[in-house]
Structure 1
Amino acid sequence: MYYQIQSEISPINLQDYNPDILTFGIITLDELEECYECFGFALATVMECKNDTHEIHGEIEVYDDYHFGIITGIETKHFIRVQDRIGIYIKSNLFLIVVIEDQDDSMRVELFESLKHINLSKVTLERLIYGFLERLILNNYSTLEKIEEEISNHEDKINDNHLDRNFNYKITGIRKRLLLLDNFYEQLIVIGEELEENAIDIFNADNLRYFKLFTDRVTRLSNNTRMLQDYSDHVRDSYHAQLDYNLNNIMKMFTVVTTIFLPLTLIVGWYGMNFTYMPELHWKYGYLFVIVISVIVAVLCIFYFKKKKFL
């Protein structure tokens, strides 16, 4: 469907398209194949839209009188994952969205939601594009805050020595989400910078500030995402350091116990040889003597280890 914007939004047919009036549209791949020649779009752009891939890459290709690019959208409300994929065409007074994959019709919803925040009597092509792109990162700050809180909770558990057996699985999931977000922001930064360059001079120079504003916001989100990636690395290192510390304590305890019983083992082995001329074997208090010696040795060892803070 195509729409013209004057004082209000009016749906139009393709035959009524007027390049002198600001127009936007959201169409399917099948509709693109039928109309791309009418707009002067290259067949290669249509084939790229039909390319079945979920790679997140930001790129705006510059043609003689229009821009073309692919945007991969992600879902952040419930679980961060790749969800949508659209193609965009931008030429003078035209912003066209091609829905490649959108199971919940979210791109159409975002487009019309963005129009609710625009003064239609003063709307420009730049403002229209900015409004739509801005909707793609709506509430992303709260998403990053939730991830930060999740990492912080893991850190608190580690500091309290409450180690989660599934920690590695959970922290890996967090890192994958952050990597996906970072790739998403990188593609938007590239798109914003390309539009700001205005290579084919289809934008009003005074309105290029919209694209700079958008790029700056996405850059801040990208920086926050990378900060959280570093934070997750720090927490993961802390987890493994705590594991090593606990293991060292166990090994130290085994070493202390072994050291305490080593002289006792020597005493028992010595008197267990049963040589004929060992006077203690026939002494009335020989058994008690060995017990007392063993206790004294054990107490002295324990006292020594406590003094050295091994216990």
Structure 2
Amino acid sequence: MQYFIDSQDGSLQAAQNCNDKEAFFTVMSTAEFHECKEQLPYYKELLHCLGSIRYCKAEVFKNCIIGTLRLPQKSEQRSPQLSFSFYLTGQSLLFVEDVGDLKLWVDKRISMFQELNSPAHLLLQFMEQMIEDDVLYLSHIESETEKMEENIGSGGSADFFPLLTKHRQKLSELNAYYEQLTDIGELFQSRACSLFADDTGDWEKFTHRAERLQNHVQLLRENMLQLRELYQSKQDARQNKIMGILTIVTTFFLPLTLLTGWYGMNFAYMPELKWRYGYLSVIIVSLVIAIGEIIYFKKKKFF
């Protein structure tokens, strides 16, 4: 799919309205790229990038900038929302992707690309759209964290650790994502890219925005770590309380167990065995011991 720049307002327009003008921006598949690859210098580097798109990056060559962009899902899913390579020159921008989601994504947001003056500016606006609603998603994760913290106070839930693990994995992915976007933004501010991007101020703003998002993610990751430690301390306190109860119960029955074992030996000359009030006296002694222990435990505030 090809697009061009409207000369009146600098907006991006689809190819069917371009009247055979030279394409300013193109989205194509790998097969389509193979058909025209000989026209592009350093096409082998782009094909190498297409083999495995795992992160966002950009490399500067003599007449072009080649890189990859990987947009993560704004959900718990690990598969990317978009994953493609780009080829930027001073006159055009090329995206290469096979799934077809990129064309739909561009067509849905085509009205957002306004006042374009260069292919690098279009790439900048595209990357700004990639992080447009990320603050809302991070706020959603933050609210989920607050709910998890409230649940800890009420004993926690069975899915606490699975949910915590999902959020930590997503935050780890987003942290690396924003760091990579920051690196790309700093690259376009450097002198090496002056031939392709003259709007370094806009790239600087984008870089600062990506850094703020990364700082937000790092804060959420710290909150997740503190949340795990809080949950673990609550579990430890609960286990200690249970062990304390078991210790009290064991201590309570220890004298009675000794008394039972002592009189369970059944020696022939034990005087209490044939005493008329022997059984009653053992009951009274046991009650006295039990009441004495209860008073002692209460005084020491064991329960």
State the TM-score bracket (shorter-chain normalisation): 0.7 to 0.9
Task: Find the counterpart in structure 2 of residue 137 from structure 1.
Answer: 131
Q: How does 1:96-115 map to 2 (within 5 A)?
A: 96-103=94-101, 105-109=103-107, 112-115=110-113
Deviation at 1:204, TM superposition (A): 5.5
Deviation at 1:32, TM superposition (A): 2.0
Asked if the contact 2:178–2:210 (Cα under 8 Å) also holds between the matched residues in 1, the reply is: yes
SS in 2 for 1:223: helix
Cα 1:253/1:97, change in 2 over 3 Å: same
Q: 1:33 and 1:181 mapped to 2: Cα distance?
A: 32
Asked if the contact 1:111–1:132 (Cα under 8 Å) also holds between the matched residues in 2, the reply is: no
Task: Find the counterpart in structure 2 of residue 55 from structure 1.
Answer: 54
Q: How does 1:11-160 map to 2 (within 5 A)?
A: 11=15, 17=22, 23-38=24-39, 40-51=40-51, 53-56=52-55, 58-76=56-74, 79=77, 81-103=79-101, 105-109=103-107, 112-115=110-113, 118-119=114-115, 123-160=117-154
SS in 2 for 1:31: helix
TM-superposition CA deviations, 1:258-286 (whole Å, max 9, x none): 11100011111222223333333333322
Q: 2:111 and 2:299 mapped to 1: Cα distance?
A: 72
Deviation at 1:94, TM superposition (A): 2.1
TM-score by length of 1: 0.86
SS in 2 for 1:199: helix
Asked if the contact 2:46–2:67 (Cα under 8 Å) also holds between the matched residues in 1, the reply is: no
Deviation at 1:125, TM superposition (A): 4.2
Asked if the contact 1:50–1:100 (Cα under 8 Å) also holds between the matched residues in 2, the reply is: no
Asked if the contact 2:178–2:214 (Cα under 8 Å) also holds between the matched residues in 1, the reply is: yes
Task: Find the counterpart in structure 2 of residue 168 from structure 1.
Answer: 161
TM-superposition CA deviations, 1:96-121 (whole Å, max 9, x none): 22224444744423651431xx236x
Whether 2:272 is the aligned partner of 1:280: answer yes
SS in 2 for 1:30: helix
Q: How does 1:246-285 map to 2 (within 5 A)?
A: 246-285=238-277
Q: Comparing 209-218 with 272-281, which one deviates more in the overlay?
A: 272-281
Q: 2:289 and 2:85 mapped to 1: Cα distance?
A: 82
Task: Find the counterpart in structure 2 of residue 307 from structure 1.
Answer: 299
- Give the aligned CA root-mean-square deviation in angstroms: 2.6
Cα 1:250/1:219, change in 2 over 3 Å: same
Cα 1:102/1:46, change in 2 over 3 Å: same
Structure 1: any 5+ residue segments left out of the alignment? none
Asked if the contact 1:130–1:211 (Cα under 8 Å) also holds between the matched residues in 2, the reply is: yes
SS in 1 for 2:88: strand
Q: Comparing 123-132 with 135-144, which one deviates more in the overlay?
A: 123-132
Q: How does 1:170-189 map to 2 (within 5 A)?
A: 170-189=163-182
Q: Comparing 289-298 with 78-87, which one deviates more in the overlay?
A: 78-87
Asked if the contact 2:70–2:82 (Cα under 8 Å) also holds between the matched residues in 1, the reply is: yes
Asked if the contact 2:88–2:120 (Cα under 8 Å) also holds between the matched residues in 1, the reply is: no
SS in 1 for 2:80: strand
SS in 2 for 1:195: helix
Q: How does 1:210-221 map to 2 (within 5 A)?
A: 210-221=202-213
Deviation at 1:156, TM superposition (A): 0.9
Q: 1:150 and 1:233 mapped to 2: Cα distance?
A: 14
Asked if the contact 2:53–2:68 (Cα under 8 Å) also holds between the matched residues in 1, the reply is: no
TM-superposition CA deviations, 1:275-298 (whole Å, max 9, x none): 333333333322111111111111
Deviation at 1:60, TM superposition (A): 1.0
Deviation at 1:165, TM superposition (A): 1.9
Cα 1:173/1:185, change in 2 over 3 Å: same
